[in-house]
Homo-oligomer: A and B are copies of this chain.
Amino acid sequence: MNDTVRVTIWNEYRHEREDERYAAVYPMGIHGAIAEGLAAFPELATTAATLDEPEHGLTEERLAATDVLIWWGHKAHAEVADAVIDRVYRRVLDGMGLIVLHSGHFSKIFKRLMGTSCDLKWRVGADGERLWVVAPGHPIVEGIGEFIQLEAEEMYGEHFDVPPPEQLVFVSWFDGGEVFRSGCCYTRGAGKIFYFRPGHESFPTFHNPKIRRVIGNAAKWAAPTSGPRRTFGRSEPVGPAAT
């Protein structure tokens, strides 16, 4: 628990390279802004990987050296190779943490781990968002206060087609009249998963200190533990416990 947590930020990294509006908000890429935020956490050692690298930057070796993977994707979900998704999937079941951000709700990896469509309502407009903490003792909200306020964000509204969160941490209020379960914890295999709603490419959300704090807290929370090796298959009787 006190050892360094090795975090890999995976970013699609297309919007910021292809459109000046997004490059202006995220000149170092969305991954760069997230990494800047995580630099405040001495427990975290952060690197980044992007879609257009070979194997999307997610080789077996790279994943084996990743404790927590952060995922931002949007318009190129379909371009992520199934073989890489299989690899990430197996690593999550084996204990790697996964933090899925915003439009990552429609990523192949999140849909596969959730078992649902992960669909939702959305609107890019003039909505502000207020994320209320509903689990005040959860490690993910340490240092956040009662809510996080974002003056402009894309709206995501219910129904959010995910399994009921095992722990619901944030609920969002939107100016336009909607709510959203915006901080959701799950377990899959030995891995911990946190879905965190905010982070549209056109808004400076990942520069917000509280958003950065949540992502760093979540990386610490999602770090693997040296739990039992999970064994499966044909098995001999263990017998009575008394001897």
Chain A residues engaging chain B, CB cutoff 8 angstroms: 1-2, 43, 93, 95, 112-117, 119-123, 125-130, 132-139, 141-147, 149-152, 155, 157-161, 163-164, 166-168, 171-179, 181, 186-192, 220, 224-243
Contacts and interface: CB of A to CB of B under 8 A. Distances in A.
A158 B226 CA distance: 18
A150 B243 CA distance: 9
Binding site of A, secondary structure by majority: helix, strand, loop or mixed?
loop
B130 A174 contact: no
B238 A139 contact: no
Given A121-B233, A127-B241, A161-B93, A115 B188 contact: yes
A191 to B, nearest CB: 6
A115 B117 contact: no
- Pairs of residues from A and B, 10 with the lowest C-beta to C-beta distance, nearest first: A128-B241, A128-B242, A176-B237, A177-B238, A137-B190, A121-B235, A115-B115, A119-B232, A142-B225, A113-B115
Contacts of A122: 233-235
A189 B172 contact: no
Given A171-B181, A173-B178, A191-B137, A163 B163 contact: yes
Contacts of A232: 117, 119-121, 159, 161
